Amino acid sequence: MSGPATMFDLTGRIALVTGANAGIGQGIARALAQAGADLALVGRSPADETVELVREAGRRALTISADLSTIAPVGEIVERTVAEFGRVDILVNNAGTIRRADAVDFSEEDWDSVIDTNLKSLFFLCQAAGRQMIAQGQGKIINIASMLSFQGGIRVPSYTASKSGVAGLTKLLANEWGARGVNVNAIAPGYIATRNTAALQADEVRNRQIVERIPAGRWGRPDDLAGAAVFLASAASDYVHGHILAVDGGWLAR
């Protein structure tokens, strides 16, 4: 049996992280590299800063430019990772988008844009990586869910639908693949201080309302997700299947 330290050791593992150029994706990629994994970094924009962080941790980094608003690049993403590293042990589905408008005014374009990226591409990337992992006999898939996997929110109907769908797919895939050596789980971040939430942080009234609701009394940071990501990627979570782990400063408990 592995000791406590080695249970979290990812040395020799290959991790594929989408949306890895900044924010949550970058924080998770860095944490996995620091735990010993080599990284395939997927994003629409350059991930030079993330590459440097991975290399600072002494690990290898492959960058793959891909737009996950369609499923077209999904097969190539997995194929390139396997061609470079020989396998895929960990998939982190972090890429996502959001559109805001009142439900009575919400457009089909805004609906499709979010669902296609956050749910459709996520499923088909799980499928492509899952086939590889099943053939290997093991793998870890970590989907990025949301507080809106549990709550309704306002003015984000397609985002709420997509993240509720991510929670459901996480459980379905865990049911199908758990006995085949593949763990499928999700992390549901709370309010995390990133560029995507800069407008909320800058809104004095909304920022105060958010912080007052969080028992921890502060916004989260990308590195607050590091421990959860390493846990779900490592042998420490081998008997954890279909779980959605909230990393929210206590938001859901309020």
| 112-169 tens-digit pLDDT | 999 999 999 999 999 999 999 999 999 999 999 999 999 999 999 999 999 999 999 9
pLDDT of 199 reads 85
Which domain, by its residues, includes 49? 6-193+222-245
Model confidence, pTM: 0.96
Backbone angles phi, psi at 69, to 5 degrees: -75, -10
Query: Are the beta carbons of 251 and 206 closer than 8 angstroms?
Result: no
Whichever domain contains 91, its CATH number is 3.40.50.720
Evaluate whether residue 208 is within a structural domain.
no
Rounded mean pLDDT of 100-107? 97
DSSP bridge partners of 40: 16, 62
What ranges make up the beta strands (E) of 99-171? 139-144
Q: Which helix (H) or strand (E) is 140 found in, with range?
A: strand 139-144
Name 5's Cβ contacts closer than 8 Å, sequence gap at least 6. none
Instruction: Please give the tally of structural domains in the chain.
Output: 1
Nearest partner of 28 among 187, 149, 197, 181, judged by Cα: 187
2, pLDDT greater than 60: no
| 14-59 tens-digit pLDDT | 999 999 999 999 999 999 999 999 999 999 999 999 999 999 999 9
DSSP bridge partners of 139: 182
Evaluate whether residue 67 is within a structural domain.
yes
DSSP bridge partners of 17: 41, 92
Evaluate whether residue 171 is within a structural domain.
yes
Separation between Cα atoms, residue 192 and residue 195, nearest integer Å: 9
Q: Is 239 among the residues known to form the active site?
A: no
SS3 250: coil
Which single residue is written with the structure tokens 């984000």? 156
Evaluate whether residue 90 is within a structural domain.
yes
Evaluate whether residue 94 is within a structural domain.
yes
Q: Which of 159, 177, 191, 219 is catalytic?
A: 159
Separation between Cα atoms, residue 47 and residue 123, nearest integer Å: 23
Tokens coding 99? 């559109």
**How many angstroms from the chain centroid is the CA of residue 107?**
26
Separation between Cα atoms, residue 159 and residue 151, nearest integer Å: 11
pLDDT of 196 reads 80
Across the chain, what does the average pLDDT equal? 96
Evaluate whether residue 252 is within a structural domain.
no
What's the residue count for the chain? 254
Angle 108-115/157-177 helices, nearest 10 degrees?
30
Nearest partner of 30 among 224, 193, 161, judged by Cα: 224
| 191-227 tens-digit pLDDT | 999 988 888 899 999 999 999 999 999 999 999 999 9
Evaluate whether residue 216 is within a structural domain.
no
Separation between Cα atoms, residue 168 and residue 145, nearest integer Å: 10
Evaluate whether residue 47 is within a structural domain.
yes
Separation between Cα atoms, residue 81 and residue 62, nearest integer Å: 8
| 55-78 tens-digit pLDDT | 999 999 999 999 999 999 999 999
Amino acid at 74: V
pLDDT of 1 reads 47
The one-character DSSP state at 45 is S
Separation between Cα atoms, residue 37 and residue 33, nearest integer Å: 5
Query: Are the beta carbons of 97 and 120 closer than 8 angstroms?
Result: no
